Amino acid sequence: MSHVPRARILVVDDENQIRKLLRISLATQGYQIVEAANGAEGIAAAANYTPDLVILDLGLPDMDGQDVLQELRSWSNAPVLMLSVRSGEDTKVAALDLGANDFVTKPFGIQELLARVRVLLRASHANRGADPTIERGPLRIQLAKRQVRLAGEEINLTRKEYGVLALLAQHQGRIVTQQQLLRSVWGASHAHDNHYLRIVVGRLRQKLGDPPTEPTFIKTEAGVGYRLLDAEP
């Protein structure tokens, strides 16, 4: 578990209490914190401090969080972790499609938030693509050979099953939206055939021996997408 020391995190949220909570909790992990109370300040701070990660609340007083995100994405590649309330699946998906990297639902547990932050920071620093093999506990995916092994045993996957698993593995720990999966595995014309995903993920779980109610590999983010879970720390 190697986190990058003194990573700089920008927190954009209009609630003072939430900012305070995030500042205290993130500081314990050794991160450097920059705060902004609204969208305009957030964009300015992102330009001034070039943060390694942005935690962005979607409900801001001056502008829509999505607009902030869009503005940010036009010149910055820093990973963005969104904060949003429950029952806002549509906004989550829209933000993810706009280039946000992950989300945490309010009210959130701080453990979950810290885990997401770690994943995002690591991913942005890891040199992905160079290593064609992804390992996650007993699961080993060799992208070059299109081979998947579970505890050393090779697993036979269909093309679609492999496509979904590989894409999730490449974004390990982070969320991949249904749209992203459908577009890249099935093609743009099937972008709304969510049931393909449900069926394929169901079969993947069976083949990986993953119980659907307490999955250890593929986690469903209801209404949004899937993520390949990080190994428990």
55 in Cβ contact with 22 (< 8 Å): yes
The full length of the chain comes to: 233
78 in Cβ contact with 22 (< 8 Å): no
Q: Does 220 bind another protein (CB under 8 A)?
A: yes
Letters for 105-124 (x = contact with another protein by CB under 8 A, - = none) are: --x-x---------------
Q: Does 215 bind another protein (CB under 8 A)?
A: yes
Q: Does 190 bind another protein (CB under 8 A)?
A: yes
DSSP track, 105-137: EES--HHHHHHHHHHHHHHHHS-TTT--EEEET
Q: Which is nearer to another protein, 48 or 206 (CB)?
A: 206
Tell me which of 154, 198, 209, 231 binds another protein, using CB under 8 A: 198
Q: Distance between CA 205 and CA 218 in Å, rounded?
A: 7
3 DSSP assignment: P
CB of 206 to another protein, least distance (A): 6
Can you give the binding site for another protein, defined by CB under 8 A? 86-87, 89, 107, 109, 158-160, 186, 190, 193-196, 198-199, 201-202, 205-206, 211-215, 219-220, 222-223
